[in-house]
Amino acid sequence: MSFAPALRAELIKIRTLRPLLWGLLAVLAATVAFSALAGLDDSADPDFDPLFSAFFGVSFGQIAAITFGAQAVSAEYQGGALRVSLAAVPGRGRWFLAKTVAIGAPALGIGLVTGVAGLVVGTSVLGSRADALTWAEELRGVVGCAVYLMLMALFAAGLAAVLRSGVATLSILIPFLLIVSFVVGNASGSVADFLPDKAGQTVLHETWDGALGPWSGLAVTALWTAAALGAGAWCVRRRDA
């Protein structure tokens, strides 16, 4: 059986669940709103990074992204929905790949819109303080923002397939992102640089000083995501539905 029908079905499922669409919209709204707020703070910070200031809201937008990813998967673990899905597409690997693409594609799309909107709003709030940014840095920020948000949504999706619960996934990931990264994260140049969010967010900075650069950082996040998706796929294939 071919892949396209399975993917089409999974895209219909995402399109037809209003909470998921609101989740995608929240990625855009939260990112732009918090980026604008960050830009308003003009106290002279020696660590000020104009690019990261414009993308500061991603730290909040990613919460919406992981909620989207986790919910899209956990919807399958309610009321025996997964049984209906797998009876229709018995190739479980193919089904999970379709689910992954159906989550990743809209997340990447909203990520690009968010990146552009965040940059435009962020730099206009910053005004002259953003003048030093080159267009190459801005482009890197936009693309990085989109890829990063997609990877976080997929990271949550993989975890949700392992835990079979959106609530469990979010109650692990949200405290992790809000607390662990903010607290441990400031200790730069340590293992913390390799945490999925910390590593990937390097791409949103104009300058960096850790072990990871913008693209290698994003690659580390991609490895985390690949690991989560791999574990999720393994669970979907191995477990009784």
Binding site for other proteins (CB under 8 A): 1, 5-6, 8-10, 12-13, 16-19, 75, 78-81, 83-91, 240-241
Minimum separation from the CB atom of position 4 to other proteins (A): 9
CA atoms within 13 A on the CB side of 22: 4
Two tokens, residue 49: 């990074």
Minimum separation from the CB atom of position 13 to other proteins (A): 5
| Complex with other proteins: residue 83 or 183, whichever CB lies closer | 83
Minimum separation from the CB atom of position 2 to other proteins (A): 9
Helices 92-126 & 81-88 angle (0-180, nearest 10) = 110
Place of tokens 């089409």: 8
Minimum separation from the CB atom of position 80 to other proteins (A): 3
| Complex with other proteins: residue 80 or 175, whichever CB lies closer | 80
| 17 Ramachandran zone, left/alpha/beta (phi>0; psi -120 to 50) | beta
| Complex with other proteins: residue 44 or 238, whichever CB lies closer | 238
Can you spell out the DSSP letters for 31-66?
A: HHHHHHHHHH-----TT--HHHHHTTTHHHHHHHHH
| Complex with other proteins: residue 1 or 40, whichever CB lies closer | 1
**By the 8 A CB rule, do 50 and 20 touch?**
no
